[in-house]
Amino acid sequence: MQTLNGNAVAKTLKAKIKIEVDQLKAEGKKVPHLAAILVGSVGASMTYVAAKEKDCFEVGFDSTVLRFPESITEAELLNEVEKVNNNADIDGLIVQLPLPKHISEKKVTETISWKKDVDGFHPMNVGLMFKGLPCFLPATPYGIIKLLEHYQVETSGKHCVIIGRSDIVGKPMSALMLQKNCTVTVCHSKTKNIESFIQQGDIVIAALGKPEFLKASMIKEGAVVIDVGITRVDDASNPKGYVLKGDVDFNDVAPKSSFITPVPGGVGPMTRIGLLLNTIDAVNRRNLSSATSM
């Protein structure tokens, strides 16, 4: 069994991104600029946005966080998104989800210019991704692909079983694993006899949001196990008052797996890399399109 160390791979990739940014600076070119919109004060969202800001700082990107109160109206928020769309200095925009109930996430996602949509949530990017064309890939699936590539995990001809069908992870992951020549099965809450499918997986990607759902008895001997889950579970003995749990019962599953991601330190840091890679891509594509339109 080998642990897929997302922290270590993310560190290596971050160093590479920093070299690329330093190169852009040395050439007098524009530095990538990521903007994040944060509505309200949900603890997890604030933590994620702060982490993204820190990542930008570490690799030398410019970063802007636009904070709005929970009471912002949908029309006002859409207007703020448009302002960023029209701001030539900003290359990538994310609107941290979830949004308050009175705001349509669909409308917001579709208002972000697809050319700045570094979350890869806009239907245009989703369509391009399913066709295997250049686009912004959603950060978590992108990070997982990078992690598998780093460890040269064989995917061709393998059966990949994905548990969860979210727009952010399960669905895009299925498209990317198909492009990696896997046979793909997507299981979800309505799948009957789910264990019979999981048992067939050479690669099992757990993204259902149920702490420690996956047990050793459910997987094939030697399976590759990717844990996307990250749930805060109350724990009075922890100074934070909670611990982070994945969807995989790591201690139970690890001895039976060939490769496995831990939580934390597996998929999480790679997701953050996915976003940085998309942001640098946004700049490179802009440079390319301005060069070809001359």
Q: Residue numbers of the site for ligand GUN (CB under 6 A)? A: 94-97, 119, 139, 168
CB of 72 to ligand GUN, least distance (A): 16
Q: Residue 104 or 191: which CB sits closer to ligand GUN? A: 104
Q: Please identify which of the residues 52, 115, 146, 245 carries the catalytic annotation.
A: 52
CB of 95 to ligand GUN, least distance (A): 6
Residue number with the shortest CB distance to ligand GUN? 97
The owner of tokens 């928020």 is 77
CB of 125 to ligand GUN, least distance (A): 13
**Alpha-carbon distance 138 to 173, whole Å?**
9
Residue 262's φ and ψ, nearest 5 degrees, are: -85, 165
Residue 136's φ and ψ, nearest 5 degrees, are: -90, 120
CB of 173 to ligand GUN, least distance (A): 13
CB of 288 to ligand GUN, least distance (A): 25
E-assigned strand segments in 115-260: 159-163, 183-187, 203-206, 223-227, 231-234, 242-245, 257-260
Give, as one character, the DSSP assignment of residue 67. Answer: E
252 a catalytic residue? no
Burial 165-174 (b: 16+ CB within 10 A, else e): bbebbbbbbb
152 a catalytic residue? no
CB of 45 to ligand GUN, least distance (A): 7
Cβ contacts of residue 201 below 8 Å, gap of 6+? 159, 160, 161, 185, 219, 220, 223
Q: Residue 121 or 213: which CB sits closer to ligand GUN? A: 121
Q: Please identify which of the residues 55, 91, 117, 119 carries the catalytic annotation.
A: 119
Whether 57 contacts 67, CB under 8 Å: no
Q: Residue 30 or 232: which CB sits closer to ligand GUN? A: 232
Q: Residue 39 or 187: which CB sits closer to ligand GUN? A: 39
- For residue 30, give the nearest of 294, 277, 285, 292 by alpha carbon: 285
Q: Residue 168 or 225: which CB sits closer to ligand GUN? A: 168
**Alpha-carbon distance 102 to 182, whole Å?**
40
Q: Residue 257 or 271: which CB sits closer to ligand GUN? A: 271
52 a catalytic residue? yes
Give, as one character, the DSSP assignment of residue 204. Answer: E
Q: Please identify which of the residues 55, 91, 96, 202 carries the catalytic annotation.
A: 96
Give, as one character, the DSSP assignment of residue 44. Answer: H
- Which residues are catalytically annotated? 52, 96, 119
